[in-house]
Structure 1
Amino acid sequence: MTELLRVADLSVTYGSGAPSVNRISFTVGEGSVVALLGANGAGKSSIMKAVSGLTPSSGAVLFNGQDIGALPARARVAKGIVYVPEGREIVGELTVRENLILGGYQKAAAERKRRIDMVLDLFPEIAEKVDRQAWRLSGGEQQMLAIGRGLVADPKLLLLDEPSLGLAPLLVRRVFDRLATIREESELAIVLVEQNLAVTMRLCDELHFLRGGRIVGHRRAEDLKDEAARQQAIDAYLGAAA
């Protein structure tokens, strides 16, 4: 598998405190899904923001073999790195369609329309409400809109931060089923931040477990198909957080 992203000795520090992320390293192959799991405060979101260029960091971030550490967030989006943040951060006063248009602001009009049509086919729940203000959508529909807005940008790497947060189990399954469909139909790579191992196992190829800003364990998804192996990973790396 061709390497798409390489993160090497990445550290993130806010102010004069201890590092939120302390010299972590991992890789993501083209078309693969890599999960970062850990409790609140483990550094997961800081890693995503550093990779997307939204927060300063030290260490190396290489994308398609190019060091992008000095590039601003906008330039990273143009290269194909798109971040869907925790909490969705859609623009509630805009319609569903207008939010999707924002996602494709760097695209030519014809390509943007094609991508929006693709997203609406993928998420019929929001297609039925395309002219409705986004704040009127349910939580699950808002998450679909946030992911769809990211997809309109035609990413090579999608950074998904806690997509299951605040959703009922049925909606979580629906969102992750659509993500699985995206995987089957494209070469899109995904870095997935989650706290829930069971949810994560539906989609990912590899899992990195974080604690205190460090990677404390790594497993391949195929190694965790057995229930006893999953429980061992939970006990070793996640504890009560799982």
Structure 2
Amino acid sequence: MTSLLTVRNLSVYYGAKAQAAERVSFDVGTGSVVALLGANGAGKSSIMKAVAGLVPATGEITFDGEPVQSLPARQRVQAGIVYVPEGREIVGNLTVRENLVLGGYHVPGVARRARIDMVLDMFPEIANKADGPAWRLSGGEQQMLAIGRGLMAGPRLLLLDEPSLGLAPLLVHRVFERLATIRRETHLAIVLVEQNLRMTMRLCDEVHFLRSGRIVGWRRAQDLKGEAARQEAIDAYLGATASH
């Protein structure tokens, strides 16, 4: 499979000494889903933000064969790299539709309206609330809006940070169902940071295990289908006390 994103020796620092990620390398194939798994503080979100251009980093980031590490975040969005942050960060006092418009701010008007229709068709839970304020949405609906807002930019690579955070199990299942549909219908590549290992395994092709800012192991999802195999990988790469 052709590599869409190539990350080599990526390091992220906050301040002079605090290192969030150290010499991280991985690839994301066109249309594939790659998961980053690790405890809180392992550096997962920092890696995602570095790829999106939201935090300074060293190393090499190549997207569709072109180096992008020197590009600002806005140009990476235009190239097709879109980050959906942890905690959703929707604009509550704007309507659902207005939040979607924000996601496609650089898209011409006709194409933007078509994408809004596409997103509302994909997420019917928010379609009948499109003209109401976003703060009235439930947690699951807000997550659907956040993903839909990301899709408005027409991404080729979606960076999804903890999409199940704070959601009830039924809503987690629904969100992941929609992600599977999006992947199947659009061939979108996804980098997924997630704590819910069981749901992650249903969606991803491979998983990279992180500990203390470093990738310490890699497995294909097909090798982690059984509960025993998943637990063995967690014990080996994250420590026997890890709870996933």
Answering whether residue 131 of structure 2 is matched by residue 131 of structure 1, we say yes
Answering whether residue 8 of structure 2 is matched by residue 8 of structure 1, we say yes
1:161 and 1:70 map into 2 onto residues whose CA distance is: 23
User: Contact 1:195/1:241 (CA < 8 Å) preserved in 2?
Assistant: no
Shift of residue 115, structure 1, vs aligned partner: 0.7
Question: Structure 2, unaligned stretches of length 5 or more?
Answer: none
* TM-score in terms of structure 1 length: 0.98
Question: Structure 1, unaligned stretches of length 5 or more?
Answer: none
Note the alpha carbon deviations across 1:168-215, whole angstroms, 9 max, x for none.
000000000000001110120000001221121120000000000000
1:71 and 1:87 map into 2 onto residues whose CA distance is: 25
Q: Which runs of 4+ in 1 moved over 4 A?
A: none
SS of alignment partner, residue 163 of structure 1: coil
Identity %: 74
| CA RMSD after TM alignment | 0.8
* TM-score in terms of structure 2 length: 0.98
Note the alpha carbon deviations across 1:206-228, whole angstroms, 9 max, x for none.
00000000001100000111221
Q: Which residue of 2 aligns with 1:73?
A: 73
Q: Which residue of 2 aligns with 1:240?
A: 242
Shift of residue 16, structure 1, vs aligned partner: 1.8
SS of alignment partner, residue 22 of structure 2: strand
Counterparts of 1:63-142 in structure 2, within 5 Å, are: 63-142=63-142
Counterparts of 1:16-55 in structure 2, within 5 Å, are: 16-55=16-55
SS of alignment partner, residue 19 of structure 2: coil
1:182 and 1:160 map into 2 onto residues whose CA distance is: 13
Q: Which residue of 2 aligns with 1:226?
A: 226
SS of alignment partner, residue 16 of structure 1: coil
Counterparts of 1:165-180 in structure 2, within 5 Å, are: 165-180=165-180
Shift of residue 237, structure 1, vs aligned partner: 2.3
2:65 and 2:243 map into 1 onto residues whose CA distance is: 35
2:127 and 2:33 map into 1 onto residues whose CA distance is: 26
1:106 and 1:187 map into 2 onto residues whose CA distance is: 22
SS of alignment partner, residue 172 of structure 1: helix
Shift of residue 155, structure 1, vs aligned partner: 0.2
Using the TM superposition, name which of 9-18 and 146-155 deviates more.
9-18
Shift of residue 17, structure 1, vs aligned partner: 2.0
1:125 and 1:226 map into 2 onto residues whose CA distance is: 33
Counterparts of 1:124-163 in structure 2, within 5 Å, are: 124-163=124-163
